[in-house]
Amino acid sequence: MTLFYYKYHDGFHSSMLQQQEMARNVLSFPGSVPAHGVVLTLLLLLLLPLRPLAARHDYHNALRKSILFFEGQRSGRLPPDQRVRWRKDSALHDGATAGVDLTGGYYDAGDNVKFGFPMAFTTTLLSWSVIDFGRTMGPELRNAVRAVKWGTDYLLKATAVPDVVFVQVGDAYSDHNCWERPEDMDTLRTVYKVDRAHPGSDVAGETAAALAAASIVFRSRDPAYSRLLLSRAIRVFEFADKYRGAYSSSLHSAVCPFYCDVNGYQDELLWAAAWLHKASRMREYREYIARNEVILRAGDTINEFGWDNKHAGINVLISKEVLRGRAEYFESFLQNADGFICSLLPGISHPQVQYSPGGLIFKAGGSNMQHVTSLSFLLLAYSNYLSHANKAVPCGETSATPALLRRLAKRQVDYILGDNPMGMSYMVGYGSRYPRRIHHRGSSLPSVEAHPARIACKAGSPYYQSPNPNPNLLVGAVVGGPNTSDAFPDSRQIFQQSEPTTYINAPLVGLLAFFSAHP
């Protein structure tokens, strides 16, 4: 497959990139400028906008669209108030082959498989967004809570049998061999589970975390539902901890290489315990965290946070309690969180984090925007925790203040919304220029309303290969994003850059909520 990259130049953007190149050149001559001067110079340049200040972003509009995206990813029977009208009911018999009801939930990306691991992580991050930033969502809070519940309703079904978690519906190889609408799919809807004999502490741990976090969301809104979520989270965590093992070992042929856990399951167990402690305030989870904190001492994972690695998220989440003076015995997590913050500052060398010439966080691997939104979310959350404690993070000669962390997070959000060398919004439907050929089956094929006849497995291939824009706008979808040079081909075939995912959007919901109230 040949990759094509568009080049974009104009006077303003070229000038900006030249300034950033000059800043990078300073690093080649460390004797010419004090180290803290280099860091401050890079921070200043990377925080400069790539377009006139008068063109403010409408963060509330972007927030509304980022939440609307989740309705386009729904599986199962759609409710009467479904707002993404070109989507229809799909996968109404999921779970039938295993004698259980597994309808509902989310398709994680541009295919029609329901992967439980990223779906649970998505639900956890949506819940965290509501917990920390729900008060600034305005009328969109209701839709954000509904997005959480669509996930938890499914996770409750997936955990209804004790010591069993149903972790996937759909054979990924069969699905990826076809290009068809979810409403038409006739691929294998194989059900995969972890149990006592085939453990999956990673996916079960993340599921417990999602249920526990969501129980906080519903604590005052629906107390009975909240209690159900918490009790189920406790049961699922006990299963995950007692029957230890990686689901990638138990279900390797089904989940790898798609969502293969390469980071181990210990972080998910600690992540789940942290959320259970936050949700229940039970001493046993605090003691569990204290006994297992040693797993977070690996330096090379200090700035990792995503569906597979929870290290940075655990440190930030637990540090909130330390900064409030409630848990001094967790001081090591605060130190780790500070180290995470320092590793993200432009100009402070860390092999795991780079910045593109246009200022976008970049980490190795596919779908880079998942790192941008999740790490930016942690920057913003931690900035708020620091602000309430009237503290800053010492990073050598530089002091990372809460205001600085917010500006860094905002710079990433603004890049996504269009302040970048391509002059393109990476959120579908936001702004005047955005991806039109996203790697997404439902969006790229004619809707059921426009084309009532079934489109079979291979009959969809011409739509996949077509250079034409997608006929259905998946409003609010944020794609994988540009490459290390800030170039974006807008090609359906280059899925690493053109495919949206639920776990890109979930942390972005919290970011946009905050900046809609604090532009």
DSSP string covering 66-122: HHHHHHHTB-BSPPTT-S-TT---B-TTTTGGGTS-----B--SSSS-EEHHHHHHH
In whole angstroms, what is the distance from residue 361 CA to residue 338 CA? 18
Q: How far apart are CA 75 and CA 203, in angstroms?
A: 20
Please pick, among 304, 439, 440, 486, the residue that the annotation labels catalytic.
Answer: 439
The alpha carbon of residue 119 and the mean position of all alpha carbons in its chain are separated, in whole angstroms, by 10
Helix (H) or strand (E) holding 517: helix 502-517
For the chain, the maximum distance between any two Cα atoms, rounded to a whole number of angstroms, is 70
Q: Is 499 among the residues known to form the active site?
A: yes
CA 4, 418, 44 angle in degrees (round to 5)? 105
439 part of the active site:
yes
Catalytic residue among 71, 202, 321, 499: 499
Q: Output Rg (C-alpha) for the chain, integer angstroms.
A: 22
Is 397 catalytic? The answer is no
List, as one string, the DSSP characters of 10-54.
Answer: -HHHHHHHHHHHHHHHHTT-TTTS-HHHHHHHHHHHHHS-SS-TT
Chain centroid offset of residue 74 CA: 17
Q: Pick from 282, 98, 73: which is nearest to 192 by CA?
A: 98
| DSSP count for the chain of H helices, then E strands | 20, 7
Residue located via tokens 């190795």: 364
Residue in 515, 513, 506 with CA at minimum distance from that of residue 372: 506
Which residues, listed in sequence order, are joined to residue 442 by a DSSP beta bridge?
Answer: none
* Nearest Cα to Cα of residue 508 among 150, 164, 122: 122
Side-chain half-sphere exposure of 324, counting CA atoms within 13 A: 11
Can you tell me the distance from the alpha carbon of 248 to that of 345, in angstroms, rounded to the nearest whole number?
34
- For residues 211 and 276, the answer to whether their CB atoms sit within 8 Å is no
Residue matched to tokens 């279900």: 251
What tokens were used for 474? 């998946």
**Catalytic: which of 132, 140, 180, 490?**
490
The torsion angles phi and psi of 62, rounded to 5 degrees, stand at -65, -40
By annotation, the residues acting in catalysis are 439, 490, 499
